[in-house]
Amino acid sequence: MSEVLPFKNYGNFRALLWMGAKFGDAALRAHIKTSPADALYTSPKIQNELITLCGKIIQRKIVENANSGSCFPVVADEATAISRTAHISPCVRYVGHDTSGVPIPKEYFVDFVPVYDLTGQALASTILNSLRGHGFDLNLLYGQEYDGAASMSGHLNGVEAFIRQTAPKALYVHCSAHALNLALLHACKLPSIRNCVGTVSSTCTLVRASPQRTNQMQDEVEDLTQEKINSVLSFCQTRWVESHDALQRFLELYVPIVQFLEYLEEDAASSDTTSKASQLLDAITKPEFVVSLQICSDLFSLTLPLCKFLQKIDCDLAQARDQVKNVIDVLFTKRASAETEFNKIFLNSLSLLKITNVEMALPSITGRQMQRSNLPSATPEEYYRRNVYLPLPAYFENQLRDRFDAHKKVVVGLNMLLPKFCASASITGIDDAVQFYLGDIPSANVIEAEFTLWVNKCCQIEEKNRPACALQALQICNRDFFPNIHSLLSILTTLPVSTSTLERTFSTLRRLKSYLQNHMNNDRLTGLALLRIHRELQVTSEQVLTELCKLPRKKNFLV
């Protein structure tokens, strides 16, 4: 081996080996210097074999842990890589234990599977074949969660319907984070809010379209504020929190944005840019836009904590339902005290308009208004309160009720097992859940007596300290003394809330299968993804060598 790193590019892997050999690893240095060319173990083929084996070792650990529990659900979705190949990504969720033996929910990515038929039946077959191929016990498949796409969630020809044919107890749950996002999107279809959000998105796109505009925007921010933030954020279709942040950031930088658009309107070299800047400047300085922006910010500030909460791994459906109910209650309270609540928003809007020298006024009103609300109003404050502020939370509240009603039906029986609620419950409250899982709980014939004992145990806990989530209830439920209750609580704990873990695997997919690696084979892709995502599942060199020794070592000779 040369004393210096080779000038020729042999790839990152070999470059790292040479660097390690040069700077301190004597054993590696000796191996590279003295081993024959056919025994270096640095070829692309052996690299792929080692990566694949590492992935299979991680997969085996996931399968063993999932099969050792009482149940697990599957979470899946499809994404397209840069190679224009669609991949489906099954993930599983089960109750594991931390180092001290406390039960905790865990979610694990299994693999990337290329798919070419996106019908519900084909996707369901792909998911089931993947789980079977890795050794998952499908008799323990007690749940499934996807987004709201028809091919995934359709009750006749969707993935969930075909999987229920193989695993009848696999209840379908719509991703709560997607449900919240859809509720917001539909609520924002109100004309004033729709126009406001569209204008914000167009303005952000204009600012971020070139480095020169971004730098000019940063200069405007530095001149007017002392904030560390110096640019707007774009709306993201998959990262829900970023949409909330983008709207809030726009409001914080409203004055610099106005001055930036004024600069573009006068000094932009392109006539198209000047025209766009002029149109957007006219749009964002209208009173209707400013009031709508303040209302959106007020609403989104309520949903931001909920959005983050629904993406937590240790969140269960009972907690999700409670948090959604909390938001609905606050929305109802805001509507009940609309005059007081909106007055704060209106005063903030007046302050912004004063800075930009725009007068608050009623929009033009005709006798027969078709494209926006036209309730009679004497003042601008009354107009915007009645036509913009009151409809938005009411519509959003209805959307939340409709989209999360299915979650309520899934957990209504299991929810009665939680110590917070079971003190006032009777055996009839869990009848539906018991009947549904009748063949799967250990001893159904004693469920009534066991439930009575469980209620008595929960009543002994001080009311304010009674667990309100499935995970905490599971920690105080003795599996030997309450086998049926423990099984039902385990099911409630494992039922997934959102597909956030799945969405993060797609971020890994885009990093791994890049422009330069777009023809990567699937085994290598899955192996690298498993190593990247599940760093806590350690793979030792002894494990890899043991598996490598089991492989047939056939040499490829050219005749």
Residue type, 142: Y
The answer to whether the beta carbons of residues 173 and 159 sit under 8 Å apart is: no
User: What band does 36 get if pLDDT is binned at 50, 70 and 90?
Assistant: confident
pLDDT of residue 17 exceeding 70, the answer is: yes
Q: Looking at the structure, tell me whether residues 400 and 425 fall in a common domain.
A: no
pLDDT interval class at 54 (50, 70, 90): very high
- Whether residues 198 and 268 fall in one domain: yes
What six digits make up the tokens of 2? 């040369």
Asked if 546 contacts 56 with a C-beta cutoff of 8 angstroms, the reply is no
Statement to judge: residues 524 and 449 lie in one domain: no
pLDDT at residue 76, rounded to an integer:
92
Q: What is the pLDDT of residues 427-440, one digit of tens each?
A: 777 887 888 887 77
- The CB density around residue 503, as the number of other CB atoms within 10 Å, is 20
Checking 440-445 for CB contacts under 8 A at 24+ apart, the result is 440/142, 440/169, 440/487, 441/483, 441/484, 441/487, 441/488, 442/483, 442/484, 442/487, 443/483, 443/484, 444/484
**In this structure, is residue 502 part of a structural domain?**
no
Q: Within 10 Å of residue 139's Cβ, how many Cβ atoms?
A: 12
Do 246 and 128 reside in the same domain of the chain?
Answer: no
Based on the domain organization, do 380 and 428 belong to the same domain?
A: no
Question: How far is Cα of residue 550 from the mean position of the Cα atoms in its chain?
Answer: 39
pLDDT given for residue 53 in this prediction? 94
Q: Are residues 243 and 352 in the same domain?
A: yes
The answer to whether residues 38 and 134 belong to one domain is no
> Is 287 within the bounds of a domain?
yes
Whether 466 is covered by a domain: the verdict is yes
Q: Give the residue-averaged pLDDT of 474-492.
A: 89
Q: Is pLDDT at 375 greater than 70 in this prediction?
A: no
207 has a pLDDT exceeding 50: yes
Residue 65: band (very low, low, confident or very high) from pLDDT cuts 50, 70, 90: very high
Residue 506 forms part of a structural domain: no
Q: What is the mean pLDDT of residues 43-62?
A: 92
Among residues 358, 501, 524, the alpha carbon closest in space to that of 62 is found at 501
pLDDT value for 424: 74
Phi, psi angles (nearest 5°) of residue 281: -60, -45
Q: Which helix (H) or strand (E) holds 144?
A: strand 141-146
H or E element at residue 181: helix 176-187
Where does a domain end: 362, 384, 406? Answer: 406
* Local confidence band at 558 (pLDDT 50, 70, 90 cut-offs): very low
pLDDT band at 94 (very low <50, low <70, confident <90, very high): very high
In this prediction, residue 144 carries a pLDDT of 92
Share of residues in the chain with pLDDT > 90 (%):
26
Distance, CA of 144 to CA of 175 (rounded, Å): 10
Is the pLDDT at 180 greater than 50, yes or no? yes
How is 237-274 classified by DSSP, letter by letter?
SS-HHHHHHHHHHHHHTHHHHHHHHHHHHHH-SSHHHH
pLDDT of 60: 95
Residue where a domain stops, chosen among 353, 387, 406: 406
Whole-number pLDDT of residue 557: 45
| 397-402-406-409 Cα dihedral, nearest 10 degrees | 80
- Whether the predicted pLDDT of 299 surpasses 80: yes
pLDDT at site 138: 94
What is the spatial order of strands in the sheet that 91-97 belongs to? 103-109, 91-97, 72-75, 141-146, 171-174
Give the model's pLDDT for residue 292.
92
> What is the number of structural domains in the chain?
4
Output the six-digit token pair for 338: 């609309």
Q: Reply yes or no on whether the pLDDT at 527 is more than 90.
A: yes
pLDDT of 547 strictly over 70: yes
- What was the pLDDT predicted at 226? 59
Asked if the structure places residue 524 within a domain, the reply is yes
Structural domain for 13, as ranges: 1-42
Same domain? For 60 and 38 the reply is no
Do 155 and 9 belong together in one domain?
no
Q: Which residues, 6+ apart, have CB-to-CB distance to 400 below 8 Å?
A: 180, 183, 324, 327, 328, 331
Query: What percent of the chain clears pLDDT 70, i.e. is strictly above it?
Result: 91
pLDDT digits (tens, 9 = 90+) for 107-146: 999 999 999 998 999 999 999 999 999 999 999 999 899 8
350, 382, 406 — which closes off a domain? Answer: 406
pLDDT surpasses 60 at 25: yes
Residue partners of 254: CB distance under 8 A and separation at least 6 = 284, 290, 293, 352
Q: Is the same domain home to 269 and 363?
A: yes
Average pLDDT, the chain: 85
455: pLDDT strictly greater than 50: yes
In a domain, residue 457? The reply is yes
Query: Within a 10 A sphere around the Cβ of 370, how many other Cβ atoms?
Result: 6
Q: Are residues 287 and 423 in the same domain?
A: no
pLDDT digits (tens, 9 = 90+) for 390-416: 888 888 999 888 888 765 655 777 888
Tell me if 123 is assigned to some domain. Answer: yes
Let me know whether 272 and 391 are in one domain: yes
Residue 241 forms part of a structural domain: yes
Rounded to whole angstroms, the Cα distance separating 523 from 504 reads 19
